[in-house]
Every structure is written in C-alpha cells, then in structure tokens.
Chain A
C-alpha cells in the first residue's frame, strides 16, 4: 500500500474547554470516495478545517499525499480542492470574475476542464456575467463545486457538497464525482448528513460523533452487517416452533406470515424454509440509514 491520500493520526482539536475532535485516526486511500458522516456539530467541519491548516490541532497530525498539513501546509494545499460548507462569495464579482480570481490564486485549472464543469452543472454564460449578489443559494453552490473541482488536484475535500443543490444537480454532482474518481484517480473526502447520497457516491464511510470517530466501514461491510427485514408468506398455516438459523431473529410469527430480521447471507434461512409451504418471500432493500443510525447509537468502532 502506498502513501494514503489523507492520513489523520490522533488528530485532536479543543476550542478552549470544548472538544472539537478527539483522537481521530483514519487513512483515506488514493482514488477512494470517502464519506464523513455525523450530526451537526459532530466535528466534521473541524476535521476538514484542520486538514486545511485553517485550524491548528491541539495534538496529533494530518497529512495529505504524505505532506504534513501543518509543517508542509503549502505542499498539502497544492494538492487539495476545497468546497466550504457555507459558500463565501464576493458579492460584487460576477461568476466569471470569481472563478478567474480563484484560478489566479492557483493551481491553474485547464480551460477545457472549467468548460466541462460549467456544462455539467448547467452554468450558462449569462449566469457567469451576473453579479454573485444576485445569485440564488443553489447557483452559489454550483459555482462553489466548480471552483473546487476545476483545478484537477488529486484530493477533493467537500463539506456538505450537495446542500442547496436541486435533485438534477445532485445527480450531476454524483456522476461527476464517480467519473473523476474512476478516470483521474481523484480522492474525494466528503462530509454529509444525507445518508442516501453517501450510499450512492462513497465506497467507505466514517462516522463521527461528539468529535470521536465511532465507526469506519466499507459499504460492503455495512450491507453485510445490516439486518434486513424478510417477510415470508405461507400458503397454509405453519407452526412457529420451527427452528430458525442463528442469523435470523423473529419479529412476528403469525400462522401464515412470518416477519424476521436477518444479518448476513439468506442461504441458511432459505434452507430452513425448504420443507415449508412458502407462497412468497419479500426482502426489504438495504437501508443505510438504519445501519448508520445503529452504529451512531452504539458508538463502537
């Protein structure tokens, strides 16, 4: 395994007596789309702003592509594209001037990439000629996404990227993230509390609660560990004393309808049902919300 795109080691930040984040350790691999989940005030933005060297850690360290975010901050930030959670704008600038200003601060974006992103996010020339004070929240957000993605740097750090975007733009955003992580190998670290988006875009998630990282899982692991609800309908009444596999927990057992929760593969349950007059089986789809909420409540890593 090479150098992680992002490495946090015991990262801790106190704001006076208040814990911002505490003892956060995490590796995000190159090309990975990592979702950083947590409730408001859990420490997502504090983590991101510490990686960007806007906050100085109380202890611990963060590194981007092997460059320490405090001691080699300049080198680290050369490799980061950042979208803040709340989009700051210069109201007197037009959209085009805003992008030109940020591009001039470096790294220089290729013109073709900017045009591609503007098309992808449906930002017209007319929009770019308007002053930002006249922009809607969604429009500001779109410009924010464009400025974060336009430089083609290897690491993107996006704080609540879809907040304020309409469903069409969320779709465009998800497609873009998928595309650049696959084709350019860009690492994406995105914070969110919209679980369905994380489910769709991320290959792995970290859950932060009260400043502490309580779980890090791949989506595959989450799916495997998530209990799914299975409803079995029988063509005639059956006895509920039938032995069930260990990975199955009965929820309700009526003579002709059982509802059970199953964790892991369905095979043992199907084998147990083989001798019974099964009329129909319904398996509820995997719901990341339930799993994440369970992990969040359990608070175990």
Chain B
C-alpha cells in the first residue's frame, strides 16, 4: 500500500506544489491587504460602500482584520481550487485505466479495492496537508505582516474553517471517486464533477438571495460549509459534518462496489 501511495503522490507532486503555492501566496496577499486596511483604518469605510448582500455573503470578513485574514478559507477561488484539485486526485483510478497502468498493477497479486483505498489515503493526506500549509501561511503571515495592536483571528475559527473546507473538498472527492470507479477515461469523471462543483457553488450563492434556489441548495455540499457564519459563531459544525460525512461515505461505498465489479 505504501508503494502505491508513494507512487500516486510522486505523480501528483507537481500539481500539489503548484496548488499549495497559490493558496499560500493568496493567504499572504490577503493578510497584507488586511494589514493595509487596518493601518489606514479603512474597514469602517469598506462596510459602508459594500452592498448589503455581499456583506451578508461574506459576513464579518470585510469588517475586521481578523475576518479578512480568514476569507481565503471560504472565498470562491481558493475554495474551488481546493475542491477541483481534490476531484483531480480522486479520479486517479480512471486515469490508470485509461493509461493501461491498471493492467500492470492488477496483474500482480493485489486486490482491486487497494486502488480505491490508496486514492482515499492520498485524498485524505492531500486535504489535510493543504490545510496545514495554508494554516502555516496564515500564522506566518500574521507574525510577519499584522500591524501592532490589531486583533488576530481566533484559532478556533481558523481550525473550524479548515475542517469545513477539508470536509467539503473530501465530499466532492468522494463523488469524483465514485465517478472514476466506473469511467474508462479521467476526463469523463473529472469534467462533470468539477463543472458540477462550480454549478453547486453558484446554486448555493443564489440560495442566499433567491428562495427557489434556497430550496435546491440543500443538495449542494457547499450548503453545509457556512464559511462566513463561522466568523459569527453561528454554525452547527456537528450537523454539517455529519451530512458531508454521510454523503462521502455513500459515494465511497459506491466507488468500492463499482470498481470491484467492473471490467477494467
């Protein structure tokens, strides 16, 4: 198993480093911007010029140094970057079928389920390590860039957002894994799930302002990732993680079943 996990990591190392670098750079940039706003005391002015619905969506993140420092955990671009990367990682079984590598690996005495388990381990390590790297970036950024006297974000808020982002990305990874477990080509699993993730994000955003979309938004994993509400301390972490975890478990079980019964 270690051999398979190591091989998988090495194949994706380049993309992992790129994604982690973008996220780390983004966190540093956010803290630099937040520091600049704090030094010029512009948060109050920002609150006056930003429309109410955006303030609703972003919560207190535009009203304080602490809030803006953590916006990278629920702002669309970094969130989608993490989610789409997780979808990419999860579709490795389909890539192996496409390249014929599965013939080489499974001609040896290995159970098919090991390839799914391997992918889950890689997904888990990827999700955790991305959060660790971005968390370190936030901490170093605060040490380096935060003006004296500003209130830092709460550690509990940062950890909660990391858990939410990792769980949401993991859930999309599980969906992608189920798709990959029955696909012959990576693109045919990756593209619909990645595009679906973007559509579900938009649906969740629409749900904030439109009642019809709000009803459908319960189907979106992003519905259970109330990023800005974390900063207000108004989230039911246990319930949301249960929903995301249950959905992930169902798709993972489906992935095992499909990969175990299909023609490769």
A residues engaging B (CB < 8 A)?
Answer: 15, 49, 52-56, 74-75, 77-78, 80, 82, 84, 86, 88, 90, 92, 101-102, 104-107, 147
Query: What's the nearest-Cβ distance from chain B to residue A143, in Å?
Result: 11
Query: What's the nearest-Cβ distance from chain A to residue B42, in Å?
Result: 48
Residue B234 lies at the interface, judged by CB distance under 8 Å to chain A: no
The 7 closest A-B pairs by CB, nearest first: A88-B100, A82-B107, A78-B109, A104-B3, A105-B108, A54-B264, A55-B263
Residue B154 lies at the interface, judged by CB distance under 8 Å to chain A: no
**Which chain B residue shows the least CB distance to A77?**
B109
**Which chain B residue shows the least CB distance to A86?**
B100
A90-B109 contact, Cβ under 8 Å, with A54-B263, A84-B103, A101-B3: no
A88-B109 contact, Cβ under 8 Å, with A54-B263, A56-B263: no
Are B10 and A102 in contact (CB-based, < 8 A)? Answer: no
Residue B101 lies at the interface, judged by CB distance under 8 Å to chain A: yes
A54-B103 contact, Cβ under 8 Å, with A90-B7, A92-B10, A92-B11: yes
Give CA–CA (A177, B169) in the complex, Å: 50
Residues of B close to A147: CB separation below 8 A: 104
B residues engaging A (CB < 8 A)?
Answer: 3-4, 7, 10-11, 99-111, 261-264
Give CA–CA (A15, B262) in the complex, Å: 12
A88-B108 contact, Cβ under 8 Å, with A101-B3, A104-B3, A105-B3: no
Are B261 and A84 in contact (CB-based, < 8 A)? Answer: no
Other CB < 8 Å A-B pairs besides A80-B107, A90-B7, 20 of them?
A49-B264, A52-B103, A53-B106, A54-B102, A54-B103, A55-B264, A56-B262, A56-B263, A74-B111, A75-B109, A77-B107, A82-B107, A84-B107, A86-B100, A88-B104, A101-B7, A102-B108, A104-B3, A105-B108, A106-B108
**Which chain A residue shows the least CB distance to B264?**
A54
Give CA–CA (A294, B114) in the complex, Å: 47
Dominant SS among interface residues on chain B: helix
Q: Which of B106, B111, B261 has the most CB of A within 10 A?
A: B106
Give CA–CA (A107, B104) in the complex, Å: 13
Query: What's the nearest-Cβ distance from chain B to residue A225, in Å?
Result: 36
Give CA–CA (A49, B104) in the complex, Å: 11
**Which chain B residue shows the least CB distance to A79?**
B109
Give CA–CA (A86, B108) in the complex, Å: 17
Query: What's the nearest-Cβ distance from chain B to residue A253, in Å?
Result: 56
Query: What's the nearest-Cβ distance from chain B to residue A18, in Å?
Result: 12
Residues of B close to A105: CB separation below 8 A: 3-4, 105, 108, 110
Give CA–CA (A194, B193) in the complex, Å: 45
Are A54 and B111 in contact (CB-based, < 8 A)? Answer: no
Give CA–CA (A86, B4) in the complex, Å: 21
Give CA–CA (A75, B102) in the complex, Å: 18
Give CA–CA (A228, B135) in the complex, Å: 81
Q: Which of B7, B101, B102, B263 has the most CB of A within 10 A?
A: B263
Choice from A15, A49, A90, A101 contacting B103 with Cβ under 8 Å: A49
Query: What's the nearest-Cβ distance from chain B to residue A299, in Å?
Result: 27
Query: What's the nearest-Cβ distance from chain B to residue A210, in Å?
Result: 20
15 residue pairs from A and B, CB less than 8 Å apart: A52-B107, A53-B106, A54-B263, A56-B261, A56-B263, A74-B111, A75-B109, A77-B108, A82-B103, A82-B104, A88-B101, A92-B11, A105-B110, A107-B108, A147-B104
Give CA–CA (A236, B1) in the complex, Å: 81
A90-B11 contact, Cβ under 8 Å, with A55-B264, A74-B111, A105-B3: yes
Give CA–CA (A88, B103) in the complex, Å: 8
Give CA–CA (A77, B109) in the complex, Å: 5
Are A107 and B103 in contact (CB-based, < 8 A)? Answer: no
Are B106 and A84 in contact (CB-based, < 8 A)? Answer: no
Give CA–CA (A53, B107) in the complex, Å: 8
A106-B109 contact, Cβ under 8 Å, with A49-B103, A54-B103: yes
**Which chain B residue shows the least CB distance to A53?**
B106
Q: Which of A15, A52, A55, A88 has the most CB of B within 10 A?
A: A88
Give CA–CA (A88, B3) in the complex, Å: 18
Query: What's the nearest-Cβ distance from chain A to residue B111, in Å?
Result: 7
Residues of B close to A78: CB separation below 8 A: 109
Query: What's the nearest-Cβ distance from chain B to residue A34, in Å?
Result: 18
